[in-house]
Structure 1
Amino acid sequence: MISREKLRDMNKDSSLHMYQQEKDYLIKVFLFYYFRRYDSAIFKGGTCIRYLYETDRFSEDIDFNLTVEPNSFQNEVRKTLKEFEKIDIECGFIKEETFEDAYTADIWFYGPLHEGTEQTRNKFRIDAGKRGGTILDPRWVLIDSGYPETKEKFLVQTMDEYELLVEKVITMLTRSKGRDLYDIWYLLKSGTSIDVDLFQKKYHSLVNEGFLKDEISWESYLKKEEYERDMEKLAPKIVPYEQVKKEVEEHIEDLKKAFH
């Protein structure tokens, strides 16, 4: 396990506070151990976007699309967590559930900041499922990691950037959290565009599977207070709501006109 001193040294050049730095360490160690052995999960969501694009928006959970049945993935997760014993990190399940098309788990860890109490343990959540499927071929990419238990860079299997963006847009139109609006804005500013055909395939697939209504609520943007409340916990500097909303809306309007 990384020492507290080494973690603190790494934190000096980071925008994260120490608890977030420890969580980042635990997530990267999990990804390193998982993807060097398995390829049946496709990394996606906010944490994936953060690692691929080095955004300053912290993300606390790991999201995957599955290419195997959830109970098979459950076994892979458990075997991956066993690897933590080799680096003297205790861990266990706060909650674990397997469904017909999904797997979720909240996992606790006694990391370098643990001081013998539940209050000082860290945790993260895994959300994995098959709904909507993965339309574009996933890709293997290198992500940076300065932690001693991983390589300086290591491979993870991720969702294609266009599908990452489409999923985020669908999530924003159904869930509306500040982090979703920001992630969409960041991806658009990074040069990824919304693929209308891909959006239609993904959305209709979710409708056909019964996960979404047939009618889209195009106006379901969150309010400024909600955006700022969510982002103040996750980013050192908040890009103004008015700018983010305006620049995302321009692309959503184009999508709305083309969608059928």
Structure 2
Amino acid sequence: MIPLILRLKKNAHKEIAKAQDILVETLYEVFDKAVIHGGTALWRCYKGKRFSEDVDVYIEKNIKKINQLFEAFEKKGFTIKKKKIGENSLYSNLKFNRIHVRFEALFKKIKGSLHEYETVEGNFITIYTLTEEELLKEKIATYLKRLKTRDLYDIFFLLRHIEKISLVKNDLKKLITKFRQPIDEKDLKVIVYEGIIPKTEEMLMYIKRRA
């Protein structure tokens, strides 16, 4: 299999991906039950074709361990540009060499599923993530909230790999009923690094067929 670093077209994406790998490895040194979700889980664990800048995780709310994590990030060469800890979430912007990576966490105890995470060099590390069905439900909720074309593309991608449609049928019906056009359709061509760029109408038609 061709490693990610050779499949990514943009140098900036390659550098961000390298930084993400260091973040993820460091994360599990401190939070060994962390669960990776969102776009990063899709392209690293489920062979997605869309680049994702953020590292999104579920972790417990433990301020001492969070501070330990950011100290570990700094030891690995990251500069903490922004770090905001709220009641239910954490947002941070980290700089590594010349690039920026966002690390975001929701404070939830989520039981993840073991899966292989593909590094940019083509190696694999075992992490916790969500199942494809769980990711799809999450993506549907996210799309209806912010109407980003990347989320619709992720739904389209996941549906091609889910066999037990009955597990997500109600969520798909909700998406179809409440569907509105994405606000940023042109952005998709910038972040899909392999394959065709489907139009909104094509993705919606496929979703309706599967529902």
Alpha-carbon separation, structure 2, partners of 1:55 and 1:96: 29
Describe how 1:194-205 pairs up with structure 2 within 5 A: 195-196=167-168
Aligned residues: 204
- Structure 2 gaps, min length 5: none
**Aligned with residue 69 of structure 2, among 77, 84, 89:** 77
What CA deviation, in whole Å up to 9, does each residue of 1:76-131 have, x standing for no partner? 431330441xxxxx321221100111111011111xxxxxxxxxx10111121136
Alpha-carbon separation, structure 1, partners of 2:45 and 2:32: 18
- Structure 1 gaps, min length 5: 1-8, 85-89, 111-120, 200-214, 255-260
**Aligned with residue 39 of structure 2, among 19, 27, 46:** 46
Answer yes or no: is the 8 Å Cα contact 2:44–2:119 preserved in 1.
Answer: no
1:249 Cα deviation (Å)? 3.5
Of structures 1 and 2, the one scoring higher in RCO (CA 8 A, sep 6+) is 2
User: CA separation of 1:83/1:159 partners in 2, compared to 1, >3 Å: closer, same or farther?
Assistant: farther
User: CA separation of 1:242/1:33 partners in 2, compared to 1, >3 Å: closer, same or farther?
Assistant: same
Check if 1:172 corresponds to 2:143: yes
User: CA separation of 1:167/1:10 partners in 2, compared to 1, >3 Å: closer, same or farther?
Assistant: closer
Answer yes or no: is the 8 Å Cα contact 1:43–1:65 preserved in 2.
Answer: yes
TM superposition score normalised by structure 2 = 0.83
Q: Which residue of 2 aligns with 1:152?
A: 123
1:143 Cα deviation (Å)? 1.9
Alpha-carbon separation, structure 2, partners of 1:57 and 1:10: 12
1:152 Cα deviation (Å)? 2.4
Describe how 1:124-139 pairs up with structure 2 within 5 A: 124-130=101-107, 134=110, 137-139=111-113
Q: Which has the larger radius of gyration?
A: 1
RMSD: 2.8
Give the percent of matched residue pairs that are identical in Structure 1 and Structure 2: 21
- 4+ aligned runs moved over 4 Å, structure 1: 196-199
Q: Which residue of 2 aligns with 1:241?
A: 200
Secondary structure, in 3 states, of the residue corresponding to 1:232?
A: helix
Answer yes or no: is the 8 Å Cα contact 2:39–2:52 preserved in 1.
Answer: yes
Q: Which residue of 2 aligns with 1:212?
A: none
For 2:99, the aligned partner's letter is N
For 1:153, the aligned partner's letter is F
Alpha-carbon separation, structure 2, partners of 1:43 and 1:194: 24
What CA deviation, in whole Å up to 9, does each residue of 1:130-154 have, x standing for no partner? 36x63xx31122222254xxx9221
Secondary structure, in 3 states, of the residue corresponding to 2:87?
A: coil
Answer yes or no: is the 8 Å Cα contact 1:173–1:218 preserved in 2.
Answer: no
Secondary structure, in 3 states, of the residue corresponding to 1:233?
A: helix
Secondary structure, in 3 states, of the residue corresponding to 1:124?
A: strand
Q: Which residue of 1 aligns with 2:160?
A: 189
What CA deviation, in whole Å up to 9, does each residue of 1:16-45 have, x standing for no partner? 310100100110121122224422421000
User: CA separation of 1:219/1:78 partners in 2, compared to 1, >3 Å: closer, same or farther?
Assistant: same
